[in-house]
Amino acid sequence: MKKKQTETLARIPRHIAVIMDGNGRWAKKRLLPRSAGHRAGMNRMIELAECIFSRGVECCTMYALSTENLSRPQEELDGLYSLFREYFRKNVETLKKKEIALKIIGDASLLPEDIRLLTQAGEEKTAGGKKGTLVLAIGYGGRQEILAAVNEAVKRGKQLTEAEFASLLDTQGLPDPDLLIRTGKEQRLSNFLLWQSAYTEFYFTETLFPDFSEKELDRALSDYAARERRFGKI
Ligand code: IPE
Ligand code: IPE
Ligand code: MG
């Protein structure tokens, strides 16, 4: 009995990454504006992060805004920025109490100045949180992240090892994602964690993000637990 429990625990991913897709379609189905879908998505993100940490996962990365999303209509972006502001104002204290460290990845220079300051303050306030790390990818693009690291390596003028290269990425110090969940039917990475997902297990679901429940998280976790991760070996 004891052995079985250990095995089950070992099957919990250390790091789950989530592509939170389908907010717009969720709203459309209900004849609501897209902004209502994003609000529902944000509420779901807060609940889901809590469920993920309660399962013993150390690190959870949520894809909230890609570099490509920045070419959406300004009205939609302004709505998203308002939600981010609200998120940081209301949730940083809770994360601190729960000892969850907040980390933001992406190109902060692409974001409005006040959001940049809120993200910095959130990271500083929650720094050292030992119960887990919540990573929010905002203004994030995998190719841009890799390119910035390559340019830095060129500047240093020497060849790098894999570990040295990884330390130049925004995700420096974090484990690679073991499981990536993408909601909203599409089966693609959309420029998310390109370097880091070399050996990640993927779970795709048609469920639109605001409908992604705790029950479905557990389905994804048991699906993951049954996978055989070979890393190229036999
Ligand atoms: C994901 O939902 C959230 C962001 C990309 C900001 P979408 O806004 O892409 O929703 P759909 O794909 O249009 O349904
Ligand atoms: C991916 O969703 C980005 C985020 C969830 C933040 P998109 O809706 O932007 O992806 P594409 O455009 O369908 O590839
Ligand atoms: Mg989408």
Residue % of the chain over a pLDDT of 90 = 95
Q: Which of 147, 65, 152, 158 is nearest to 112 (CA)?
A: 65
Over residues 108-130, mean pLDDT: 97
pLDDT band for position 81 (50/70/90)?
very high
Distance CA 115, CA 121 (A): 10
pLDDT band for position 54 (50/70/90)?
very high
pLDDT band for position 222 (50/70/90)?
very high
CB-based neighbours (< 5 A) of ligand 3, an ion: 21
Look at residue 7 in the predicted model and tell me its pLDDT: 46
pLDDT band for position 2 (50/70/90)?
very low
Does ligand 2 have an atom closer than 6 angstroms to the CB of 69? yes
What tokens appear for 119 in the block? Answer: 């993200």
Distance CA 126, CA 113 (A): 20
Best residue among 25, 34, 190 to mutate for probing ligand 1, ranked by most atoms within 8 Å of CB: 25
Look at residue 173 in the predicted model and tell me its pLDDT: 97
Give the 3-state secondary structure of residue 166: helix
Please compute, for residue 182, the number of CA atoms within 13 A of its CA located in the half-sphere on the CB side. Answer: 13
Look at residue 135 in the predicted model and tell me its pLDDT: 98
pLDDT over threshold 80, residue 4: no
Cα-to-centroid distance, 67 and ligand 2 (Å): 10
Cα-to-centroid distance, 209 and ligand 2 (Å): 12
Answer positive or negative: Cα dihedral of 46, 52, 54, 60: negative
pTM for this entry:
0.95
Atom of ligand 2 nearest to the CA of 209: 5
pLDDT over threshold 60, residue 43: yes
Does ligand 1 have an atom closer than 6 angstroms to the CB of 183? no
Does ligand 1 have an atom closer than 6 angstroms to the CB of 69? yes
pLDDT band for position 132 (50/70/90)?
very high
Does ligand 2 have an atom closer than 6 angstroms to the CB of 183? no
pLDDT digits (tens, 9 = 90+) for 136-190: 999 999 999 999 999 999 999 999 999 999 999 999 999 999 999 999 999 999 9
Best residue among 18, 19, 20, 23 to mutate for probing ligand 1, ranked by most atoms within 8 Å of CB: 23
Residues serving a catalytic function are 21, 69
Instruction: Report the side by side order of strands in the sheet with 59-66.
Output: 100-105, 132-140, 59-66, 15-19, 179-182, 201-204
Look at residue 8 in the predicted model and tell me its pLDDT: 45
Look at residue 88 in the predicted model and tell me its pLDDT: 97
